[in-house]
Chain A
Amino acid sequence: MASITLENLAHSYHPNPGGDDDFALKAVNHTWEDGRAYALLGPSGCGKTTLLNIISGLLTPTRGRVLFADEDVTASSTVARNIAQVFQFPVVYDTMTVEQNLAFPLRNRGMEASYVAERVGRIADMIGLQADLKKKARGLTSDLKQKISLGRGMVRDDVNAILFDEPLTVIDPHMKWELRTQLKSLHREFNHTMIYVTHDQTEALTFAEKVVVMHEGRVVQIGTPKELFETPAHSFVGYFIGSPGMNFVPVSVAGNNARLGDETMKLTHDYGHPNGDLKLGIRPEFISLTKGVGLPVRINRIQDAGRHKFINAVLFDTEINIAVDASFQIETDMTNVILDPDKVSIFCDDWRIDAQSAGKKDGGVT
């Protein structure tokens, strides 16, 4: 096991890539620390799978290097890297039984029969396939097949990392929870480095210690779920994490004064005089609806979502969402909002700026 370092990694599916747009993956620098559980979060087509395939050696990057500990493995084969990977859709060996499927990666490495039997038994227990071991893999349902794929990914205990590429897409919702819990306990037990690709934020936030958010071929932020929620480094993170996502309102900033429409709001920090396309970002949870105090809004509609109510309103020509408790009584004369100044973020050209680096344009993690 070792840490995995990506150095200036870029990949293009074009034979002769020209501009930035030709790259599915644009300049990624990142170290996956040994033994951590990461989630790689981003919308479909943002380069997550490309990144995984480069780590496992299924793809050779156009530029940059991949290091395991200090060893350059950019040119090494998948076999030499000894990595496990589980794909989005089930891949099983049709003619084999469930047991043979699970044992396959071990047998290929020439492990002893007693060790193979022990590992297979253990993994089958974990993913709940003990009763199906002797069945042919071919006739099984797709969620059972995906469990086999998961099992094959976890059966080797000497791998450098286990990569999961949206592995629970075809699994029933209640099984998803259970399997994710199993994966976590497996992680605690063996301390494999795990990278879990998903576009489902709940999955990412519950699985991982650190979440890596990707957007258009770039890593835009790496952080704990809390950091992503409270201090998104890029407007995309704000928008992508949380449901509904962060609200963005055009703003102009001078020192610690923010001007929204024709009203001024005090900020808790001094941001200097930033130039560029400025937006104020605030989560729906940190806006409160009031009578007469604060900024004027016009309410469009109210949605009841069980524990919360979501209010869709217009603040200076911008649509915003406000989240309130289900028990909160909304009255007709509540036409103002107060934005919690502690929870306000200022974004300049989509990147969050913080008070310390006031005036700097690019405050994000790259």
Chain B
Amino acid sequence: MEKTVNQRAWFLVIPVLILVAFSSIIPMMTVVNYSFQDTFGGNDFFWVGLEWYRELLHSERLWDAFGRQLLFSSIILSIEVPLGILVALSMPKKGISASICLVLMSLPLLIPYNVVGTIWQVFGRADIGLLGRTLSDLGISYNYSQNAFDAWATVIAMDVWHWTSLVALLCYAGLRSIPNAYYQAAMIDQASRWSVFRFIELPKMRGVLMIAILLRFMDSFMIYTEPFVLTGGGPGNTTTFLSIDLVKMALGQFDLGPAAAFSLMYFLVILLISYVFYTVMITAEKDEVQS
């Protein structure tokens, strides 16, 4: 049968096109526009080409923030993933206690980001905070606003507190989907607890773990609110991550051109890393099926 060609069908996608244009394409292109120009008061634009990109790629400040960002993401991933798995493994499997656990675990995920920052800011204060006060009473010097190590430790602890439940809940869902026969077979085969984890639970959690790692990577790589409320990027620049740096540049110094170039590169880096990650994930899966 011949297909009828009817170009008028294109009209049907117009509403969506308009929506997408106003919500992403136009704002995005504005940023692109800024990134190639210098602006002066009175909305004077001056074409600079790739100048901002070149400058930023040689800026130590940006590379430092990038390094800190990578370090932060790797640290929280290496804590949250194993911890999340451990929590998921030790959660009750059914009954009322399982429901209570699930609700308690979801609570940190429901708290707005800036509230999380505020909670930890108060929590860590040496004069009135439970954590800060306890530590100083124990004779441990702790001050997240003066000491870089303390600041890092607090930011990491905060992220772990906030997001480990997400990993745990995803893993829990993965674990619950394993048919009981697998555990029974493992018992019959006299497998050790470690073998059960290594050969049954981990392979079956693979899919959800990949999603958890991807989500946690993207989120942590874009983190802004919590460290901004807690440390404001300090002391000095020690907890200034990419997005904090970006906001400083765009709104603090009002360098719109470089900030626009910065955001585009930031966006591309996240896209690139996520894409690489996703591809590795998918091909690994395919290989496994084929081999």
Q: How far is the CB of B93 from chain A (nearest CB, A)?
A: 16
Binary CB contact string for chain B from 181 to 193 against chain A (1 if under 8 A, 0 otherwise): 1101101111110
**Is A183's beta carbon under 8 Å from chain B?**
no
**Nearest chain A residue, comparing its CB with the CB of B291:** A136
Binary CB contact string for chain A from 112 to 144 against chain B (1 if under 8 A, 0 otherwise): 000000000000000000000001101100000
Interface residue tally for chain A (C-beta within 8 Å): 30
B181 near A87 with CB under 8 A, answer yes
Q: For A365, list chain B residues within 8 Å (CB).
A: none
Q: For A88, list chain B residues within 8 Å (CB).
A: 181
Interface size range on B against A: 20 to 34
Q: A82, A84, A87, A89 — which one has the most chain B CB atoms within 10 A of its CB?
A: A87
B188 near A83 with CB under 8 A, answer yes
Q: How far is the CB of B109 from chain A (nearest CB, A)?
A: 30
Q: How far is the CB of B205 from chain A (nearest CB, A)?
A: 12
Among the listed A87, A139, A149, which residue makes an inter-chain contact with B289, where contact means beta carbons less than 8 Å apart?
A139
A104 near B188 with CB under 8 A, answer no
Measured in the bound complex, the distance between the Cα atoms of B192 and A220 in whole Å is: 39
Among the listed A56, A57, A139, A149, which residue makes an inter-chain contact with B288, where contact means beta carbons less than 8 Å apart?
A139
Q: How far is the CB of B118 from chain A (nearest CB, A)?
A: 45
**Is A283's beta carbon under 8 Å from chain B?**
no
Of A91-99, A206-214, A318-326, A352-360, the one with at least 4 CB within 8 A of chain B: A91-99
Q: How far is the CB of A105 from chain B (nearest CB, A)?
A: 4
Q: For A94, list chain B residues within 8 Å (CB).
A: 199, 203-204
**Is A152's beta carbon under 8 Å from chain B?**
yes
**Is B122's beta carbon under 8 Å from chain A?**
no
Q: How far is the CB of B102 from chain A (nearest CB, A)?
A: 23
Measured in the bound complex, the distance between the Cα atoms of B180 and A88 in whole Å is: 12
A87 near B189 with CB under 8 A, answer no
Q: How far is the CB of A17 from chain B (nearest CB, A)?
A: 19
**Is B200's beta carbon under 8 Å from chain A?**
yes
B184 near A58 with CB under 8 A, answer yes
A85 near B199 with CB under 8 A, answer no
Q: For A138, list chain B residues within 8 Å (CB).
A: 288-289
Q: For A153, list chain B residues within 8 Å (CB).
A: 188
Given contacts A79-B190, A96-B199, 12 further A-B contacts (CB under 8 A): A56-B188, A58-B187, A85-B184, A89-B179, A91-B182, A93-B200, A93-B203, A105-B188, A105-B189, A109-B190, A135-B291, A139-B291
Interface residues of A (CB under 8 A from B): 53, 56-58, 77-79, 82-85, 87-89, 91, 93-96, 104-105, 108-109, 135-136, 138-139, 149, 152-153
> Could you name 17 residue pairs across A and B whose Cβ atoms are closer than 8 Å?
A57-B187, A58-B188, A77-B187, A85-B188, A88-B181, A89-B181, A91-B181, A91-B185, A94-B203, A94-B204, A95-B199, A104-B189, A105-B189, A105-B190, A108-B195, A138-B288, A149-B185
